[in-house]
Amino acid sequence: MMSDDLVEPVDTALRDQGEGLADQAARAVLAYRDGDRGPLAALVQVMTPLLWHTVRAQGADSELAQDIVQNVWLTLVRDIESIRDPRATLQWMLVTAKRAAWRAVRRSRDEQVRQDSDEHATDWLTTPADDLPDAVAVRDERDRVLWGHVGELSDRCRRLLGLVAMVDRPDYAVVSRALGMPVGSIGPTRGRCLAKLRVALAADPAWSLS
Amino acid sequence: MTAAEDRELALVAAGGIDAEDRAILGRLAALVEATDPVPPGLVDRIGLALTMEALHAEIAELHLVGEPALAVRADETSIEAGTITFTTDVLTVMISVHPEGGRVRVDGWAAPAGEISVELHQGGDVTTTQSDADGRFSFADVERGPARLVLRRPSDPTVPIVTPQIEL
């Protein structure tokens, strides 16, 4: 079970690593305060997938996850005047989403335990490659091999890599920190999770020879 | 894990992120998206919710009159639009939706008659038109999906009148 982590200030060193979601979110907040809602609408388009997967990674079912994601956006808009550091917006939203999901999932699991039910929300990123629905675009053998090795990683590593994959390089550190992973868990160096995956892939002839 | 394996892992972990790492993450992103896609319509619903939140302080909600011509969607608050009427104390709006290829045309009529500004909100997109003197308005070539109308009367432009979400 993941712990409920504190928000830390966004690393100022990130500022020189190019435009990422954190930058885009900061600009959207400032524009919204100035009466221009366009940049925030654009941000909703590009950031909702990351929030979605952050919430799903906590084990929230689809309906619950949709409510939580929508609520995070509404909370942002309601509190938008009181955000002191707009550059922390991305991290704040990720932490808010994660916490809301974690609480909601814990609550629903408690209820299920009381009802003597064994049903759990489907755990994210744990579907075996052979059980992926046909509609899922496993384009080639390498996809299947990659999915298999990701499935062998710890829960923490699987979540970290799955969410970091959703963003570009400037946002790696913000995403890992929002997940409660130590600073430097990924970006600028690989960190242990990505290293484990690389070592496993390199040792797998199905990956390295194809 | 042997000491040698642990050393190898530490070495790889200390390396900078390279093109292959980015390729792996890109492939993983596509798999995650395919395995658990963002539900269709979620982004649009959030856009609408944010628009309504921005207008919230000033809106008068129009209420649906009678049963909609088509079924109310069970899974959410959207109303499947055929011909429907909404009303408030100050304004009544009737709209009808006509399929046109894969898209729709929305014809509407507002009473009491008068030239009012009519906005069609879909996700983050807003299309604006003006009704004629008889209160008639129309939106052609509209994408299907959840939508709301926001109407502003010249007599009271700061109090927009907003329909519930309808499914075009």
Helix (H, G, I), strand (E, B) or coil at B149: strand
Helix (H, G, I), strand (E, B) or coil at A29: helix
Residues B69 and B123 in one domain: yes
Q: Is A37 on the interface with B (CB under 8 A)?
A: yes
Contacts of A187 in chain B (CB under 8 A): 17
Structural domain of B30: 3-35
Average pLDDT over residues B37-49: 89
Average pLDDT over residues B73-81: 48
Q: CATH number of the domain that B107 lies in?
A: 2.60.40
Of A44, A74, A127, Cβ closest to residue B35 = A127
Contacts of B34 in chain A (CB under 8 A): 132, 135-138
Minimal Cα–Cα distance from B77 to chain A, Å?
Answer: 13
Q: CA–CA separation, A122 vs A2, rounded Å?
A: 16
Query: Which residue bears the tokens 């628009």?
Result: B51
Here the ipTM equals: 0.82
Chain mean pLDDT for chain B: 82
Of B21, B35, B50, Cβ closest to residue A136 = B35
3-state helix, strand, coil in chain B (%, to 5): 25, 35, 35
Average pLDDT over residues A120-142: 60
* Per-residue pLDDT tens over the stretch A5-37: 444 444 444 444 468 999 999 999 999 999 898
Residues B58 and B109 in one domain: yes
β-bridge partners, B60: B161
Residues B115 and B131 in one domain: yes
- Per-residue pLDDT for A183 more than 70? no
Residues B28 and B85 in one domain: no
| Number of domains within chain B | 2
Residues B150 and B134 in one domain: yes
* Per-residue pLDDT tens over the stretch A187-206: 788 999 999 999 999 999 99
Residues B138 and B161 in one domain: yes
* Per-residue pLDDT tens over the stretch B127-163: 999 999 889 999 999 998 888 898 988 887 777 888 8
Question: What DSSP string runs through B49-83?
Answer: HHHHHHHGGG-EE-EEES--SSPBPTTSS-EE-SE
User: Which pTM does this prediction carry?
Assistant: 0.69
Of B15, B27, B31, Cβ closest to residue A190 = B15
* Per-residue pLDDT tens over the stretch A53-99: 999 998 898 999 999 999 999 999 989 988 999 999 999 999 999 99
Q: Which two tokens stand for residue A136?
A: 């899922």
Domain ranges for chain A:
12-208
Q: Check residue A179 and give its pLDDT.
A: 85
Residues B92 and B147 in one domain: yes
Contacts of B15 in chain A (CB under 8 A): 189-190, 195
Q: Check residue A136 and give its pLDDT.
A: 57
| Chain B CA closest to residue A127 | B35
Q: Check residue A142 and give its pLDDT.
A: 87
Residues B19 and B53 in one domain: no
Taking the alpha carbons at both ends of chain A, their separation in whole angstroms is 37
Residues B67 and B128 in one domain: yes
